[in-house]
Amino acid sequence: MKRILTFSLTLFLAFSLFAQGSNKPVIGISSGWGGGSSTSAPLTYVESVIRAGGVPMVIPLTEDPELLAAMLDRVDAVIMTGGEDIDPLRWYGEEPVPAMGSVVPERDAFDIALIKMAVGRNMPVLGICRGHQLMNVAFGGTLYQDIPSQVKGSSVKHRQKAPNYYGTHTINIEKGSLLNRQIGLEKVAVNSYHHQAIKDLAPGFKATAYSVDGVIEAMEKEGSSRVSGVQFHPEGFTSNNINTFLGIFEHFIEEAKVYRAEKK
**Active site amino acids:** 129, 233, 235
Residues 108-129 as b or e (16 or more Cβ within 10 Å = b): bebbbbbbebbbebebbbbbbb
Neighbours of 34 (CB within 10 A): 14
E strand spans, the chain: 26-30, 55-59, 77-80, 125-128, 143-144, 169-173, 187-190, 197-198, 205-211, 216-221, 227-230
Q: Are 243 and 224 in contact (CB under 8 A)?
A: no
Counting Cα atoms < 13 Å in the Cβ hemisphere of 183 gives: 25
Show Cβ contacts of residue 13 under 8 Å, excluding neighbours closer than 6 positions. Answer: 74
- Return the amino acid letter for 228: S
Counting Cα atoms < 13 Å in the Cβ hemisphere of 39 gives: 26
**CA 169 centroid distance within chain:** 20
By three-state DSSP, how is residue 237 classified? helix
Show Cβ contacts of residue 249 under 8 Å, excluding neighbours closer than 6 positions. Answer: 48, 49, 51, 52, 54, 234, 235, 238
